[in-house]
A = this chain, B = another copy of it.
Amino acid sequence: MTYQQDGNLTTRIQQIANCFFNFNKDIIDSVKDIAPAVKPQMAFYEMYGWAGVLAYQKTVEYAKSKEMLVIGDAKRGDIGNTAQAYAKGHLGKVDIGNGEEAPIFDVDFLTVSPYLGDDTLQPFIDECIKNNKGIFVLAKTSNFGSGYIQDKVDQEGKTIYETVAEYVAQQAERLKIKTGYSPIGAVVGATYPEQALKLRNIMPNNIILVPGYGAQGATAKDVTNSFDKDGLGAIVNSSRGIIYAHKKRYPNGDCTREQYKEEVRKATEDMKKDITQALEKEDKGYNKLDRDR
Contacts and interface: CB of A to CB of B under 8 A. Distances in A.
B113 A147 contact: no
A25 to B, nearest CB: 14
A58 B49 CA distance: 11
A78 B75 CA distance: 7
B44 A85 contact: yes
A104 to B, nearest CB: 4
Contacts of A163: 148-149, 152
Interface string A68-89: 0000000111111011011011
A44 to B, nearest CB: 5
B94 A41 contact: no
A278 interface: no
B104 A118 contact: no
Interface string A87-103: 01100001011000011
Given A3-B104, A75-B78, A117 B143 contact: yes
Interface string A1-19: 0111100010011001000
Interface in A139-158: 141-150, 152-155
Nearest to A80: B143
A250 interface: no
A79 B47 contact: no
Contact of A145 (B13, B104, B120, B142): B120
A118 B96 contact: no
Nearest to A96: B12
A79 B142 contact: yes
A21 B61 CA distance: 27
B160 A152 contact: yes
Contacts of A3: 57, 61, 102-104, 106
A282 interface: no
Given A41-B85, A48-B89, A114-B148, 5 more contacts: A3-B102, A43-B83, A47-B86, A50-B51, A114-B149
